[in-house]
Amino acid sequence: MLNRVRRLLIKALGGITEDELRGVYAENKKLKQLLSPYTKFVNDIYFYAGNYPAWKAQQEFRHFLHDAHMPLTQNYDSPARGYAYSVDDYLGRIVDAFVYLRQEVNLEGKGDDRRLWQKENLSQARGDIYLNREQHTRPLATRQQSGAVRSVE
């Protein structure tokens, strides 16, 4: 009888009983085990090279295409879309996912520059300066004669 009154009093005052607390601890342990592989995944792919975060991969990909005289166009509805656009889209989705995670979860302390993850600076981090501002009227790959690069149409 005394235990029942004690539980009712604890509940009335907004507390939780030992049994409920054990249940919360058990649920917390299960959630930690469930999230552990995702945490490892995020930690494994957060850095692209050395201590550069994920956006650096997209920036270097765009820079490489620009230097190869095959820049991506800023017009995403371009008829010349192909493999390069698929890779850029994929890298962009990875960056977008980390932007979301940085808003929802504390990813600070990863050693990267917090300013480049901010919305107004993310364009610079992604390498938007390497995008061609005009729509292509010919295939992106221009060195097809040598056979080294094939058209991406």
Which residue's entry shows tokens 């550069």? 52
pLDDT for the residue 151: 39
Which value, to the nearest 10 degrees, does the dihedral of the CA atoms of residues 89, 109, 120, 74 take? -20
String of DSSP letters for 92-149: HHHHHHHHHHHHHS--TTSSS-GGGGSHHHHHHHHTGGGSBSS--SS-S---GGGTSS
pTM for this prediction: 0.66
Per-residue pLDDT tens digits for 76-122: 555 556 888 889 999 999 999 988 888 887 766 555 567 788 888 88
pLDDT for the residue 26: 96
Per-residue pLDDT tens digits for 54-79: 889 999 999 999 898 888 877 655 55
**Domain limits, the chain:** 1-45, 49-153
Structural tokens at position 108: 């600070």
